Structure 1
């Protein structure tokens, strides 16, 4: 599958749902990272229930999606990070109970222009030197990052402030969520970031692995050195075995309990989404790491039992492995 035009894909799904009543329509919004998974699920679901159900999928970033979700404007929100305590409180104030469902793992990729011949790997400290707030208007050249790097402009591209990818990246690399320099090219559309790096010799960007896997002819992934480990490239395998650190992370959908309780279409869509065989197929197809079948079974049980709330009490947590995720789901 190709996901070169997120807005177009969302618009197509919205057009398909034009004649659907509220009872037959699922409204989804949120993360651009999770969008390819949900779009693929929505397409297959609508084929399965042709003429009966429709799904619209918007893209406003994890933060933008949670705002809409906690106002009761959408039934499901995609998120590339766990819900924050402030968002939990906003949902509580508006009477929105939610179910937190992990759906995949991602290797958040750091990428450079393919013609960049001086970067063989980057350390977390070097990335921090580029991205921390103190770097603004000061760190603008590759020669400032490592001795031996050339005197070439450093041009940064990254997710916007409403993105869960931005939140996770800043916490993992800078050490504080939502803390970074502001003088970089920001966009909620990952394809804008892809083209920015692809067209800029000194460009460096970050986004979900699916957008790297769809653009390997335009981008060069950077191995990341974390602590004393050897540099590791982002891949499905290194996300699965938790060696790609600190930029491997779980991806989620959050479902309104009221929507699932009161509307058959939402219940059926989430059931469909959590089918282990289908999830493994579609998650892999769009370039992410499917969870073990046990994880989907645990998520479906939590959904069926209407287990509400989050197991991530303080928002994003760095270095979550599949085993950690399974343990958190078993303890619900």
Structure 2
């Protein structure tokens, strides 16, 4: 059973016990990152290296220097965090290689993690029941680590001075396949008689999954969202698309907005009869912002048990998740002490082979 998020927040001594379990050694690694789909562009064949392809037998063999490969697939939302943490880890351990890709949460699970080709899969929403079952059918127990929080942001063009906020009801109307209005004025007569130009994440994205479930919900059509939008796994391309058309409309992770605040305009959200709430880290942390959501990474328990350098990296990842740069430089709410301790407890259980995922 996964540890509860209500565990004792003062059990900092777990960090030391984990170091003993995982073995002594510097908490670091090196290698390359990639935007590709994990086709071996890191110089390997995309495998986990346990067949000796990294020059070893897949373990660290008691060596003082960490070595081996780590394959991380999944979410483009979580990607900036993983990119920075792997960069830091790489500076310290040049003999550990990374293949880090943006496949989307669902795409990463489907095409890389569930087949057993990655050690970790980043996700901007919880693992789904069918994904969990397919993992277990393949002998994989996914280990969940809750790393940060996001304020999913709805954006329009900077010239769209006719709108500063939008209700969740109107947001659903715009994006639902059951309604699919063509013009802004079809939704609100005060808005322009101009066609929508829509941008959003691709269907392989966890952001897409979260948005369709949270905003749109059940539909009568045979698809979860209208199909006439520009979908991509590159969140910065969503911002660029909205920037290029006065009547464009899209949604993207807060980090991609806050790091380019002059390129597009963020809308405040109205839920029920509430006052408009603008996207912010404070709103995501408190839950006051309607589209606040958790961010995760999932580890392959079998590979965590087998690969000491993976154990060390995940411990490093967890301990970095509460650092200020997660908010200041990337744009997400960092983990709190309780989350760090829960994640370390999950890692400890995974190393011992005692972890079992529970939603």
Structure 1 segments of 4 or more deviating over 4 A?
13-22
User: What do the CA deviations read for 1:253-293 (whole angstroms, capped 9, x no partner)?
Assistant: 000011110011110110000115x6423422211111212
Q: Residues 268-287 of structure 1 correspond to what in structure 2 (within 5 A)?
A: 268-275=312-319, 279-284=322-327, 285-287=329-331
Q: CA deviation at 1:119?
A: 0.6
Q: Residues 269-308 of structure 1 correspond to what in structure 2 (within 5 A)?
A: 269-275=313-319, 279-284=322-327, 285-306=329-350, 308=355
User: What do the CA deviations read for 1:30-53 (whole angstroms, capped 9, x no partner)?
Assistant: 01000001011100111121x221
* C-alpha distance in structure 1 between counterparts of 2:35 and 2:229, whole Å: 27
Secondary structure of the residue aligned to 1:103 is: strand
User: What do the CA deviations read for 1:157-198 (whole angstroms, capped 9, x no partner)?
Assistant: 111111110010011111149711111111111121111001
* C-alpha distance in structure 2 between counterparts of 1:40 and 1:309, whole Å: 29
Cα pair distance change 1:308/1:204, threshold 3 Å: farther
Partner of 2:235: 190
Corresponding residue to 1:58 among 89, 93, 101: 101
* C-alpha distance in structure 1 between counterparts of 2:256 and 2:338, whole Å: 27
* C-alpha distance in structure 1 between counterparts of 2:253 and 2:177, whole Å: 22
Cα pair distance change 1:56/1:309, threshold 3 Å: same
Corresponding residue to 1:199 among 215, 220, 244: 244
Partner of 1:125: 169
Partner of 2:299: 255
Higher helix share: 1
Partner of 1:325: none
- Structure 1-normalised TM-score? 0.85
Secondary structure of the residue aligned to 2:340 is: helix
Greater C-alpha Rg: 2
Are 2:217 and 1:175 aligned? yes
Partner of 2:74: 30
Q: Which runs of 5+ in 2 are unaligned?
A: 1-31, 45-52, 59-67
* C-alpha distance in structure 1 between counterparts of 2:195 and 2:122, whole Å: 35
User: What do the CA deviations read for 1:103-146 (whole angstroms, capped 9, x no partner)?
Assistant: 0000000000011000121000100110111234xx11111111
CA contact (8 A) 2:74 2:101 kept: yes
Q: Residues 228-247 of structure 1 correspond to what in structure 2 (within 5 A)?
A: 228-245=273-290, 247=291
